[in-house]
Structure 1
């Protein structure tokens, strides 16, 4: 499942999400979050990722893992607008309205000096202590991202808050059953017929011999 979200306040920015429930293993969903260069804003530091989940009863058992994760918050449902540091938030009434989520994940640390952050792409895995997660849990759900240090190689003074909605998820149909080619079917039939004739010969009683 791939989709992009756009800024509702701050600098002109765009972020791409790619969710996969096969790469990370059964019952897990991998999140790949990439900043997309937009106009003059070629660089940005991803600081927070926010999202909703279809079944809110799963929030208490969610777990997240990834090398860039520094904090996480799961629930209360529809009340999460900040995670980690206080300014790592999506508060405010932008053009998309109130920005509250079910969960939030903090990425890296604030600031790009001294190697603290400057993360333009990150990957983390979401799992549950007792339930299997699939992409269906994120179908048509809201997603958000907090960006800091937005700009170019010469100036990184802007910031941005983004929000968008994942597309409707349609599971892939199972692969069709393989049907043998006609020539293969004929060959299998002849092989079976030949085997049957051999079996009959082996079980046939020997002819009797009369001695005078």
Structure 2
């Protein structure tokens, strides 16, 4: 197929191209992460660290990194369940989770999720209920997906972009099993805490291009105009096969 393309459009086309190039070169990304720890409310003395990031996994997705922190004599534990609330409850029906260690999930009803995967994987006894729960691995440290001290999963939505703002000051919980040391792991623990207030980072400052880049773009535009002026605008055309 052939497409007529008038040379009269060359100056504006090349100038627009130059603008696009300069904009893409000088526009830095704007993303953030937040970290916080939660502590046990019942069971063994334990602590877990959350790190949430809304850029690592791609735009509109939030990566959860959950790490067990060695506390006193409890140097190891198996992460079994991760629970959390989300600011906008209407998003629950469209949530999706992907992670190597994820074995089950429960999104909603809002404020009523108290277990995930199995009835024993819960935060009963003072933890309350949550909007969502994600089961990690399998019960029993001798199984293929057991004994997990650190896990990563990505949360997304089928039609909405997620940001860290959805988790600002929201409650989080974790169910730990097989808590103890290398020689004795007979305890369990349930943890609960709150994420900090999230303040979106300010827009990145506009960067002034280097002088050499400005000169190059200027030469590019002037050269394009000279080429266009040499062509008769009334009858000239370019045919692209």
Q: TM-score, normalised by structure 1?
A: 0.82
Partner of 2:58: 25
Inter-partner Cα distance in structure 1 for 2:145 and 2:75: 19
Indicate the SS of the match to 2:202: coil
Deviations 1:127-149 (A, max 9, x none): 11111100000000000000000
Give, in angstroms, the shift of residue 180 of structure 1. Answer: 5.7
Partner of 1:207: none
Give, in angstroms, the shift of residue 171 of structure 1. Answer: 1.0
- CA gap of 1:125–1:180, structure 2 versus 1, over 3 A, is closer
Is 1:121 matched with 2:150?
yes
8 Å Cα contact 2:101/2:145 also seen in 1 = no
Indicate the SS of the match to 2:116: coil
Inter-partner Cα distance in structure 2 for 1:62 and 1:129: 7
Give runs of aligned pairs for residues 13-92 of structure 1, distance below 5 A.
13-92=46-125
Inter-partner Cα distance in structure 1 for 2:125 and 2:158: 33
- CA gap of 1:103–1:175, structure 2 versus 1, over 3 A, is same
Deviations 1:151-200 (A, max 9, x none): 0000000000000000011111122112367xx49x96xx99xx9xxx9x
Inter-partner Cα distance in structure 1 for 2:136 and 2:182: 21
Give, in angstroms, the shift of residue 115 of structure 1. Answer: 3.7
Residue-pair matches, total: 185
Identify unmatched segments of 5+ residues in structure 2.
Answer: 1-33, 227-241
Deviations 1:79-100 (A, max 9, x none): 011000110000112xxxx511
Indicate the SS of the match to 2:92: helix
- CA gap of 1:180–1:109, structure 2 versus 1, over 3 A, is closer
1:132 to 161, 184, 202: 161
Partner of 1:164: 193
Is 1:149 matched with 2:142?
no
Q: TM-score, normalised by structure 2?
A: 0.73
Inter-partner Cα distance in structure 2 for 1:14 and 1:26: 30
Larger radius of gyration: 1
- CA gap of 1:175–1:163, structure 2 versus 1, over 3 A, is same
Provide runs of 4+ in structure 1 moved above 3 Å.
Answer: none
Inter-partner Cα distance in structure 2 for 1:99 and 1:118: 25
